[in-house]
Amino acid sequence: MTIIPYGKHFIDESDIDAVVDILRYGQLTQGPMITEFEREFALHVNSKYAVAVSSCTAGLHIASLAAGLKEGDTLITSPITFVASSNAGIYTGANVAFADIDPRSINIDPVLLSLALKEHPTTKVVIPVHFAGYPCEMEEIKPICDQVGAVIIEDAAHALGSKYKNGQMVGSCCYSLMTVFSLHPVKAIAAGEGGVITTNDESTYRRLLRLRSHGINKGDDQFICLDESISTSGINPWYYEMQELGFHYRITDIQCALANSQLKKLHRFIERRREIAARYIVAFADSEIVHFAQPSDALDRSALHLFVLRINFERLRIDRAQLMKSLRSKNIITQVHYLPVPMHPFYRKTLPVDPSIYKQSERYYRDCLSIPIYYSLTADEQEYVISTINYIIDYESN
């Protein structure tokens, strides 16, 4: 039987044709396809600007720099996320702190965020993570951050296609200065690798453009050295200048051609994920051992990047590793999202706190399991996943 992964990209002929067109006729990098993709992406999420970069990690890094994060400042984020969310602070020399999750949403708890901000008065940046695509309580988080002057950068790596309670798209930046997305193959749309930062602030946008390409200005902004940049005939056509320390975080036209083609199918991708999630919710509704980790309104607002179960392993004769191995033996791949960031060895030695203080994050981590959800998952394959999980759970129940 074909292996059923927990996540998988979907590529059709239109995606292949888009890439081949660039290879045959286009500019491979630093060309017009990047600008076209950025324009289409901004239109989709209803932001003024979009900046495509080499990865979501790169996006979080330069977004933090554009927000003014520096040594001596603090960045606060959720413990339940990939390490890139907090590493963005480490890259800038800032301190990193965490606010625990709300166990109902698996997102950062606004009440605990408020307490963390009081505990860390040097906080400059807050990164709420829309875990599995389910939007954070941004209408509560924004005034909390505004009160102390903290800049919000949304980590929307999972959330392209998600909507806030007010109906606006995640990425519209109605609650934040910037929002950062991922174009990794298991995400909503794929570019191979890549990321996108959205913002409504022009000065932030222009700084992001510089930071993604070595800190160099090629005429997007005012030049500093006017004696070198301007001659009697105007701006010297060869001239560019490095205005600050930036990075090589550029994305290619090849990647953007694929991403732009995928973006046209995003609505279809999300609708299929919601159909799959709805079927899982019904299938496990009567179980006393297994349940969906997030609220049921995820079917209306979440991009459903992941479908995460919480499993009461105390009721089973097997642990999570044994369950995963048993499913793997039947060609079903599952995963754990995530080991809480403060539990990683680097953060254990870096942070001045015991990771066990994030009690909700640890409880969630001990009983979570991500099961297959992706566009091309067939009804038969999903039924096989459901029946296999239910059989093992029933057989191993105490």
- Are 332 and 1 a contacting pair, CB within 8 Å? no
Residue 220: pLDDT over 80: no
- Domain CATH number, residue 246: 3.40.640.10
Same domain (yes/no): 183, 56: yes
| Percent over 90 (pLDDT), the chain | 95
State the pLDDT at residue 217.
86
Residue 338: cis peptide before it, omega within 30 degrees of 0: yes
For residue 233, pLDDT over 90 is answered with no
The domain of 247 spans 13-263
Q: What CATH number corresponds to the domain at position 363? A: 3.90.1150.10
* CB crowding 362-392: b at 16 or more within 10 Å, else e: bebbeebbbbbbbbebeeebbebbbebbeeb
Instruction: Tell me the per-residue pLDDT of 85-104, one tens digit each, with 9 for 90 and over.
Output: 999 999 999 999 999 999 99
Tell me the per-residue pLDDT of 180-200, one tens digit each, with 9 for 90 and over.
Answer: 999 999 999 999 999 999 999
294-321 pLDDT, tens digit each: 999 999 999 999 999 999 999 999 999 9
Q: H/E element holding 207?
A: helix 202-211
Count of domains for the chain:
2
Indicate if 202 and 226 belong to the same structural domain.
Answer: yes
**Of 243, 263, 283, the domain-final residue:** 263
- State the Cα–Cα distance between residues 8 and 374, nearest whole angstrom: 6
Residues 213 and 314 occupy one common structural domain: no
Same domain, 125 and 23: yes
Indicate whether 94 and 239 sit together in one domain. Answer: yes
Average pLDDT for 77-92: 98
113 plus 201 within the same structural domain: yes
Alpha-carbon gap, residue 1 to 398, rounded angstroms: 30
pLDDT, mean of residues 161-186: 98
238 & 289 share domain: no
The C-alpha atoms of residue 307 and residue 292 are separated, in whole angstroms, by: 7
Q: Is 232 inside a domain boundary?
A: yes
Q: Is residue 8 part of a domain?
A: no
Which pairs with CB-CB distance under 8 Å and at least 24 residues apart come from 267-275?
267/161, 268/375, 269/10, 269/161, 269/188, 269/189, 269/375, 270/161, 270/188, 270/303, 270/304, 272/375, 273/303, 273/304, 273/305, 273/373, 273/374, 273/375, 274/299, 274/304
Residue 47 scores a pLDDT above 80: yes
Question: Taking a C-beta distance cutoff of 8 angstroms, is the pair 153, 178 a contact?
Answer: yes
7 assigned to some structural domain: no
Grade residue 398 by pLDDT with cuts at 50, 70 and 90. confident
> Does residue 173 sit in the same domain as residue 198?
yes
Quote the pTM value.
Answer: 0.97
Q: Are residues 274 and 380 in the same domain?
A: yes
Residue 1 has pLDDT above 80, yes or no: no
Whether residue 376 is contained in a domain is answered as yes
